[in-house]
Structure 1
Amino acid sequence: LRAKMARARVADDGCWRLELEPLAASAEPAELRISAEPAAVNGSVTIQNVLVGEVWVCSGQSNMEWILRDTENAVVEIAGADYPEIRRFKVPHLSEFEEQDDCPGSWAVCSPETAASFTAVGYYFAKGIRRSKDIPVGLISSNWGGTPVESWSSLPALRAHADWADFEKRIAAVQETLADPENGDDVRESAAFAQTQEAWDVLADSEQAFARVGFDDSAWDTMLVPQLWEKVGLEVDGVVWFRTTIELPADWAGEDAVLNLGPVDDYDNTFWNGTRIGGVGPDTANSWQVPRQYTIAGELIKPGRNLLAVRVFNVMGAGGICGTPEGLALCRASGGAGLNLAGDWRYQVHLRRPLGEPLNMGWLPGGLYNAMIHPLISYGIRGVIWYQGESNADRALQYQTLFADMIRDWRSAWGQGDFPFYFVQLANFNEPQTEPGSGNFAELREAQTMALALPETGMAVIVDIGEAADIHPQNKRDVGERLAVIARNQIYGEPELVYSGPLYESQQAVNGRLQLKFTHAGTGITTAEIHSEGKYTVREPGKIAPSGFALGKPDGSWVWAQARIVGLDTIELWHDEVPAPSDVRYGWHDNPVCNVYNREGLPAVPFRTR
């Protein structure tokens, strides 16, 4: 690789490892050639288009998995995403009882054709790094929605935890279910269904003909489309095929057209005259909400009768082509009046989900570490970015140790010292706060903050950009960029860059009031004017009073504090009902009141003193 060579001897078990000398970062594509001596006999392998740069593991649950296509400003961002220096390797969802040495997957070069499926947080993180450092960035995306931290922890780390007995019982329960002959058929059928779901876009031999023009569907039943099929009594989770014919005028022939199919619950493969024109699958978060719009190439548009076939894969719950009748239409790409496609379509059930519930292997303690992290530990990395915690929100006390133990354990496994580990604190979620109180997310955020005691860690606070009604905030740009600011300050040569919002440090009683000192105040603490959910403007100090602070009363209740900024790093609190204040909370709720920032625009870290 780039004229650098190294040799290694293959061990008796067939494994080998070698390390090249460090190379300068370069976006110039190179070849990596591996050969077994003598090459003439044993051959060689050449890997093309190899860059030299920084590799980051992007891990956690659904908010790290969330793809760029399902975020704010996605259309514009994807159209301009021509960044060949950014690459992504996607690890599929896998869970195992024992450590694995390999996993499937492949690299994708960031382009307008591929960026839609990139982890959005990772994508914006990579862009943020490249804003100050002209180096290639590789993203290893290893994440699984709805999974707890113990699934990402190694079994040795879990065995050392105080709650190992509970984790061991959960593992044993899964093993018992798999081993029980009475459950065998259900488990095997559920596993087969899960594999089919993973291969959502692969047609079985028995259904290849359903997309073809000449297939005789006269024996199929009919259904009014669009609607959820449960409304006509079809209680099916699985695969249902729909077919309809469309008569087109002669002047449509040869001209590109646009099919607006509307949302499909959950996945679809869509065919026009036997050719696949698009589809949405499990890589798309909330796929059941995504309106389908597919371009049909002009050469597929025929005068007269045309066939539209849609393969709908419903995982669970309601299913079908489920938009509005007005939204189901075919239009010319050049514009003009379209054709409404709502009406009676023919349909046939092809695959039914088995009655047995599939095992949730994503919750297997140690399972994701074994299958999705351990295969990566021989890979040289620069660090990890992590977004997870929602699935542990009801166990914040336990998370304090589980999360820190996981970070230590990953560093030990990689053997690269205390590599940077930057994580995202949970966003605001659920009903907005109106009175002083608490919440599971508040306590989980505290547990995350405690992990900053570990070396080479950093936390992106996003308690200001979440959404009350959606645990998956659409603003992933600020998330990735706030993580990137940490990296730029800590490791990419910008020590002057402010990378954190104000962080509570200490307090002092002064004349019946309480003065709070903060680190990371930057050029000064200030407040923001909140316009709407996730939208704000940082103002000059003194323009808007700090809000979101609560003081503890002697009877154990809490009241909103009056507050003012009295220095670059100091806020003063008081309340007439609390003559000697000492207990403070700030931003302490699932979806808290909070408006304190530094002038650099980063929000203060929620905290409590009791």
Structure 2
Amino acid sequence: MMQKRIIFFVLLFTSSVSFAQLKLPALVSDGMVLQRDQPVKIWGWNFSGKKVTVSFNDKTYIAYPGNDKKWFIMLDAMQDGGPYDIQISTEGDTINIKKILFGDVWLCSGQSNMTFAMSKLSEKESDDIARSSNSNIREFQVKQKYSFEPEDNVVGQWREASPDNVLKFSAVAYYMAKNLYEKYQVPIGIVHSSWGGTPAEAWTSPEGLKDFPHYAEQYNYLRDTVNLKTTLEKNDQVNDKSFRIHYQPATLFNAMIHPLIPYTIKGIAWYQGEANTRKAAEYERLLPALIRGWRDNWQQGDIPFLIVQLANFMAPPKRPSEGGWAWIREAQLKVSQTVPNMALVVTIDLGEADDIHPLNKKEVGRRLALAAEGMVYNDKSVVYSGPVYQSMKKESDKIILRFTNTGSGLMAKGGNLNRFAIAGQDKKFVWASAKIEGDRVIVRSDSVADPVAVRYAWASNPEGNNLYNKEGLPASPFRTDDWEK
């Protein structure tokens, strides 16, 4: 009798599975936040190949699967609000999606400082965590995965902010969302897709690698499973711990970005660069290729792209240094100035000498929100950038610097200006005195009678750098010379 019951339940289960014709991507699920004020794509698969009906807000949309069984429809633009339900059906199968909100959707990506979870701030930000309940802030965290071929789905689910759920949220992304929600009272959806330690080439699309033959060749070589197996076996034999599959070109784009692309978004926040610090010159070309590849795939035009510039890290130098991480920060600055619809979030004052993962994620998120307010939400009243070097002029034994983004004026935070260095034709930098005169900074040194170049905060950790605007935002590190590293 027991055996018959088991057979009955097995048959019942398999028959119910056979009727499950519809499949939806993980993103299109209960609790999702859809982008307001734009038509948004809803998609999935129907393995029966038959017509799909989507019912939403008293409207009916019809779709027919292609040869790959994939279908999609475009929902009409909606104002912010909710919750809503969507019903998706085909002959013999129906899926209901509940608790949908319309608001602004931000893709937050990068490496460990974006991955850094609120749980690591359980003591420092305990009050914020305790008061985090807000059904209008939601995160979809993409499960970490790599692939040598573009994937069409991810693993993850939408979670509302709450004292329990928020512990798993990206801290930077959460504080960005929290600030945006508090200002605009619009639901904020975070699509969080990051992986600690990963280089930019792993997040670059296969098409974006075309101008980097060494990465393109590596990608194409390892796509062959025989070559990949051989490589892994060889590295095991020599105990090479440096080879990680998920560090390889395009592997994370394929698995963790490509499946998200149909989802309409407001913008992208990017916190990455630590893994590329030894290749700053290449990064200056690679990051635009990454951005271009993402934008080309999304087909939403020049999607706003916010870069978090790397924070100060390691021991501060006693003498003017050769730069260290300053070179990667310069690459990030240049990309923000040359690629359309970009903003740079400077965090040179938020780091910690002995920790590559500084704890002040709250301020990073606030500054990301400021950048979004000023550039994406077009709030002209917002000063969202600190001073940025514009030009220099030599006068006798002094160099006069001018800046953009001075807000309501330049200021030296906490005393006299620090971390300015000056050099003559010999290219030997020495510490310099610097003072603010109106919208200018005057730099000189008794040791350099005929100066030609100035550098500011030019070190991995320029501790004590204190040039700000009066809105409290720090100046980006810079140099006036074009001397090679």
TM-score normalised by L of structure 2 = 0.83
1:219: which partner in 2?
none
Q: Give the secondary-structure state (helix, strand or coil) at the position aligned to 2:71.
A: coil
Q: Secondary structure at the match of 2:61?
A: coil
Q: Higher mean Cα deviation, 413-422 or 8-17? A: 8-17
- State the distance in 2 between where 1:501 and 1:462 align: 10
- State the 1:358 CA deviation: 10
Q: Which segment is superposed worse, 366-375 or 4-13?
A: 4-13
Where do residues 266-277 of structure 1 align in structure 2 (5 Å cutoff)?
none
Letter in 2 for 1:574: R
In the aligned structure 1, how far is the partner of 2:264 from the partner of 2:321?
45
Question: In structure 2, do the counterparts of structure 1 residues 180 and 548 end up closer, same or farther at CA, with 3 Å as the change threshold?
Answer: closer
User: Does residue 601 of the first structure (1) align with residue 472 of the second (2)?
Assistant: yes
> 1:317: which partner in 2?
none
What per-residue deviation string (whole Å, max 9, x for no partner) do you get for residues 440-487 of structure 1?
A: 311000000011111111011001010000000011001011010011
Residue 121 of structure 1 aligns with an amino acid whose one-letter code is: V
Alignment of 1:382-531 (within 5 A): 382-452=266-336, 453-529=338-414
1:30 aligns with 2:84: yes
Q: Note if contact 1:507-1:516 (Cα within 8 Å) is conserved in structure 2.
A: yes
Output the CA distance in 1 between the equivalents of 2:422 and 2:255.
Answer: 47
What is the CA–CA distance in structure 1 between the aligned matches of 2:217 and 2:144, rounded to whole Å? 22
Name the CA distance, whole Å, in 2 between partners of 1:548 and 1:81. 39
User: What CA distance in whole angstroms lies between the structure 1 residues aligned with 2:322 and 2:360?
Assistant: 25
Distance 1:7 1:598, change over 3 A: same
Q: C-alpha displacement at 1:493, in angstroms?
A: 4.3
**CA spacing shift, 1:357–1:467, aligned 2, 3 Å:** closer
| 2:98 partner amino acid | Q
What CA distance in whole angstroms lies between the structure 2 residues aligned with 1:460 and 1:50? 31
Q: 2:64, 2:229 → 1: CA distance?
A: 41
How far apart in 1 are the matches of 2:137 and 2:435?
45
In the alignment, is the contact (CA less than 8 A) between 2:205 and 2:290 conserved in 1? yes
Distance (Å, rounded) in 2 between the aligned partners of 1:432 and 1:3: 62
Aligned residues: 421
- Native 8 Å contact 1:25 1:136 kept in 2: yes
Task: Tell me, yes or no, if structure 1 residue 44 matches structure 2 residue 94.
Answer: yes
Mark the CA change 1:179 to 1:509 in structure 2 (over 3 Å): closer, same or farther: closer
Which residue type is aligned with residue 99 of structure 2?
Answer: N
Q: How does 1:284-303 map to 2 (within 5 A)?
A: none
Does the residue aligned with 1:365 lie in a helix, a strand or coil? coil
Mapping 1:124-523, distance limit 5 Å: 124-161=175-212, 164-169=213-218, 172=221, 175-176=225-226, 178-180=228-230, 183=233, 360-452=244-336, 453-523=338-408
Shift of 1:491: 2.4
Q: Tell me which residue corresponds to 1:6.
A: 61
Shift of 1:365: 0.6
- Relative to structure 1, the CA distance from residue 414 to residue 173 in structure 2 (aligned partners, 3 Å threshold; closer, same or farther) is closer
- Cα drift, residue 177 of structure 1: 5.5
d(CA) in 2 for partners of 1:181 and 1:60? 26
**Residue type of the partner of 1:367?**
T
Structure number with the bigger relative contact order (C-alpha 8 A, sep ≥ 6) is 1
Listed as ranges, the matches of 1:64-143 within 5 Å are 64-71=114-121, 73-143=124-194
Question: By how many angstroms is 1:505 displaced?
Answer: 0.3
Contact 2:206 2:216 in 1 (8 A): no
Question: Which of these two proteins has the greater Rg computed from alpha carbons?
Answer: 1
1:105, CA displacement in angstroms? 1.0
Cα 1:183–1:563 change in 2 (3 A) is: closer
Contact 2:219 2:250 in 1 (8 A): no
One-letter amino acid of the counterpart of residue 85, structure 2: E
Q: Answer yes or no: is the 8 Å Cα contact 1:522–1:598 preserved in 2.
A: yes
**2:442 aligned with 1:558, yes or no?**
no
Structure 1 residue runs of 5 or longer lacking an equivalent are 188-354, 530-543
Amino acid at match of 1:604: A
Quote the residue 1:592 is aligned against: 462
**Dislocated runs of 4+, deviation >4 Å:** 173-177, 355-359
Q: Distance in 2 between matches of 1:105 and 1:459?
A: 29
1:60 aligns with 2:115: no
Identity of aligned residues (%): 39
Structure 2: distance between partners of 1:378 and 1:88: 17
SS of the equivalent of 1:146 reads coil
Q: Tell me if the contact between 1:429 and 1:468 (Cα under 8 Å) persists in the aligned partners.
A: yes
Deviation of 1:103 after TM superposition, in Å, equals: 1.2
Query: What is the Cα-based RMSD across aligned positions, in Å?
Result: 2.2
CA contact (8 A) 1:69 1:75 kept: no
Aligned residue for 1:477, secondary structure, equals helix
